A and B are shown apart, each in its own frame.
Chain A
Amino acid sequence: MVTTADEAVEVFQDRSWGVTAVTPYLEALQAETGEDLSLLIEATRASLVYQTGADHLMTRRALAPFLSPAAAARWEPVIDGHIRSGLARLAASSKPDLVRDFSDPLFVACARDLFGLAIPDEAEFLRHIYNARIFTEPLLRLRELRLVQDAYRHLVEAASAKGDYPGCDSGPAPLVGALARSKLPEGVNDATLIASITVAAHTAAESLAYALWGLLRDGAPTWGEVSRPGWADAHLEQVIRDYPSTLRLYRVAGAGTALNGKAVAAGDVAELDIPAANRSLCPHGASDGGRTSLSFGDGMHKCPGAALARLMMRRALPAMAERFPELRLDEAGVRIERTHMVQAPTALPCRLAPAATRRSARMWDVTEAATARAIAVDDLRFSPPGMESHLISLQEASGQDLSTVIRIARNAPFFQSGPRHARMRLLGFEALGSNRLAAWTPLIEAEIARAVAALEGRTEADLVRDFCEPLFHAVCQPIMGLHPRSPEVFNQLAPMLQEVLEPLRSLRAIVKVQAMVDTLLDQFDEPAPDEGEQGPMSLLSHLAANGREEMDVEDRKAFVLVLYGASFNVAHTLANAILDLAAKPVAERGDPADPARIAAHLDTRIVPDAASPRFIYRIARVAGEIDGMAFAPGDTMRLQLAAINRDLGAGHLAFGHGLHRCIGAALSRLLIRKALPALFSRYPDLRLAAAAPRYAENSQTVILAELPCRLH
């Protein structure tokens, strides 16, 4: 066992040590078993890893003009181009992974352009590479050898297909072209040689991935420096030393010799532990030979691709650090495969942007889906905004009477915690949950049919004013139990209810909202006990019958008004969903007239993309930390739903999650699920009119002010 750099160098440079004789081993295996291993035998004859003597020297000479540092440098622009497209691919991926979306595709692109292989199918090509690369593992079983041989067959084909080589006219000639003009040992054809070099070259992609892991693990303490000018010159060799993907190399003594003063007999095997040898160089940095690592080996069989591997790392690491300065690993998802011979990441899931960024002294914007979901359900560490206590202390400090908005906050589930919230939530779900909604479904279907029919005979319509709003009024007001004395006044003022959500309103704005809430509360009453409502029991009636203990009549009315204000999101989300569909060419809409298709995509695509709430707010009850970012008690966590819902898809937070999950979720989903097919089956060619849709000015909600559409 060789564990120091000096001993390893001694072995590498002592000619009596040679590589393991794999070719004769395979020939004996073939003779013994009758298994046809001819292609594999040919591959070992062509491979620098297993060649010896004159053949090895001739092959190295044939490759030198292509693999020398000067030759490698000429590929820099091509490699930079592939790095850029790799970074773009990462940015576009919803679940980015540095191996799947960057280092492996970069390797494939380089194999295509630099080596000249024809690679029509990236995934299939990588499968062959992953199968072939196990060949260096000791004592493979016969079925594994068959697997490797089959992989080599495809790779040799890829290397033999004389495709046209992009960049051939201006840039350097790819390896396939370069080899055609050079002399190879007897029985070695260039396609097999290139196939074996390509398999070995995958180690460069593994080293790049392993270096990324090394630089990004434990919170990526040094990642910020990697994008600084001169980083590669100062640190690349140290990264190659500390994160070698090669674990072990073997040498066999061809004749008696000595190692570190001890006698070695012919046939003795030296197992070189590369990480250990590298660590032995750590204290003094460069040892006598100016060597900082043995990751590329040394002596006759030194890695021929070292220059290209270094170039790829030197260009890729700083480019990634510059493009994604906040890049972090999803450490729980990291998979590093350690075989006998190599160590390499097989999965490096990551986040390209920070989970949360500080927006102001007291506010964080949380954009990372898993972090946001964890906050949304963590009622111990985070609470809803304490609007009620804020307004009470504001009233005391300012002397301004804020009793109405305090009552609103006291009866808004999204501002409450604990027993009061639990009771309100139960009452709300009893009145608006799925089973009660079953009784409301006939009304909902009738109102949808009426709203669609109201568009009859028109070629154009504003589907906010002419469809979503009237439908929303006709469905939500009866379900809530709101029968305003003057619908015009009520419907005109009610949208301002949505401003209650805006955080940190000025006293002036709060007083203005309060006056409007007073007017709205005066617009409706609880139904008298004997005055039975026809149809299912509304929320207001349900509260009157079941909520008297916790809420007086003003509280009950306030609770209904709050939920009505929140339910505007149904109208806005429906309008956004119509826009998403109408903006697409008819052929790409996936048939929105079909209720089954709409139902299937409701939570995977339609709601996450169209949901109108921009944020969920949570207040830190205690100090804590997200991905190394410390927050203080009282800090506000603003969950950015657009980015989060896009990443989460079916698990979206459009209706929140956990204790504070939206009470109106079932109603929203029912209405949208039925309204979209009804509208699009009546108007299949519905599309946007010339005028672009116009959004209302609202910082908390995505509200379409106008959605002009052509119906035919």
Chain B
Amino acid sequence: MTKPTLAEVTDFLRDHVSQRTKVPPEQILGSTVLVDFGLESIDAVLISGHIEDRFQIEVEPSLMFEYQTLDEVAAAVVALFDKR
């Protein structure tokens, strides 16, 4: 699997955060602190599962909480490709 662009991962994440938290995607900005939209443990497990399926890379759910904003989580996912 080739390394995705930051934009690709950010959009993918935004959609799934929107689905789980029922917040419209346009309200989820890059600087949004995901926990402020009530992101729960189960959301972190499911979203990281979707990232794994879509981008074929292992992602620990705790990553969704180690980083605060949408941009930071997306950047952390992209960085996993460099570590591979």
| A interface list, Cβ under 8 A from B | 360-363, 390, 393-394, 397-398, 503-508, 634
Contacts and interface: CB of A to CB of B under 8 A. Distances in A.
Nearest to A507: B49
B15 to A, nearest CB: 16
13 contacts: A360-B65, A361-B33, A361-B34, A361-B35, A390-B42, A394-B45, A397-B46, A398-B49, A506-B45, A506-B49, A506-B52, A506-B59, A634-B40
A631 to B, nearest CB: 12
A507 B46 contact: yes
Contacts of B39: 361
A504 B46 contact: no
Interface in B6-45: 33-35, 39-42, 44-45
Contact of A506 (B34, B40, B42, B48): B48
A398 B46 contact: yes
A397 B33 CA distance: 23
Contacts of A507: 45-46, 49
Nearest to B36: A361
Given A360-B66, A397-B42, A504 B35 contact: no
Q: Is the interface of A mostly helix, strand, loop or mixed?
A: mixed
Interface-central residue, B39, B52, B61, by most chain A CB under 10 Å: B61
A507 B59 CA distance: 10
Contacts of A390: 41-42, 45
Nearest to B34: A361
Contact of A394 (B34, B46, B60): B46
Contacts of B49: 398, 506-508
Contacts, number: 51
Nearest to B66: A360
Nearest to B61: A504
Given A505-B45, A506-B61, A508-B58, 17 more contacts: A360-B65, A360-B66, A361-B65, A362-B65, A363-B65, A393-B42, A397-B46, A398-B46, A504-B45, A504-B61, A504-B62, A504-B65, A506-B45, A506-B59, A507-B45, A507-B46, A634-B40
Interface of B: 33-35, 39-42, 44-46, 48-49, 52, 58-62, 65-66, 68
Interface-central residue, A362, A505, A506, A507, by most chain B CB under 10 Å: A506
A313 B59 CA distance: 52
Contacts of A505: 45, 61
A377 to B, nearest CB: 24
A362 B35 contact: yes
Interface-central residue, A503, A504, A507, by most chain B CB under 10 Å: A504
Nearest to B35: A361
A243 to B, nearest CB: 39
A645 B42 CA distance: 32
Nearest to A362: B65
A393 B33 CA distance: 23
Contacts of B60: 504, 506
A508 B52 contact: yes
B68 A361 contact: yes
Contacts of B52: 506, 508
A514 to B, nearest CB: 14
Contacts of A634: 40
A362 B64 CA distance: 10
A390 B43 CA distance: 10
A555 B13 CA distance: 38
A363 B66 CA distance: 9
A391 to B, nearest CB: 9
B62 A503 contact: yes
Nearest to B60: A506
B13 to A, nearest CB: 15
Nearest to A503: B62
B42 A394 contact: yes
A335 to B, nearest CB: 42
Nearest to B44: A504
Nearest to B43: A397
B62 A360 contact: yes
Contacts of B66: 360-361
B74 to A, nearest CB: 15
Nearest to B46: A397
A459 to B, nearest CB: 43
B33 to A, nearest CB: 7
Nearest to B68: A361
A363 B68 CA distance: 12
A361 B43 CA distance: 14
B16 to A, nearest CB: 12
Interface-central residue, B41, B44, B52, B68, by most chain A CB under 10 Å: B41
Contacts of A363: 65
B5 to A, nearest CB: 24
A508 B48 CA distance: 10
A634 B42 CA distance: 12
Contacts of A503: 41, 62
B68 to A, nearest CB: 6
Contacts of B65: 360-363, 504
Nearest to B20: A397
A504 B61 CA distance: 6
Contacts of A362: 35, 41, 65
Contacts of A398: 46, 49
Top 10 nearest A-B pairs (CB, nearest first) are A361-B35, A360-B65, A504-B61, A507-B49, A361-B65, A360-B66, A504-B62, A362-B65, A393-B42, A394-B42
A393 B40 CA distance: 11
A399 B40 CA distance: 18
Contacts of B62: 360, 503-504
Contacts of A361: 33-35, 39, 65-66, 68
A506 B58 contact: yes
A397 B16 CA distance: 13
A362 B67 CA distance: 10
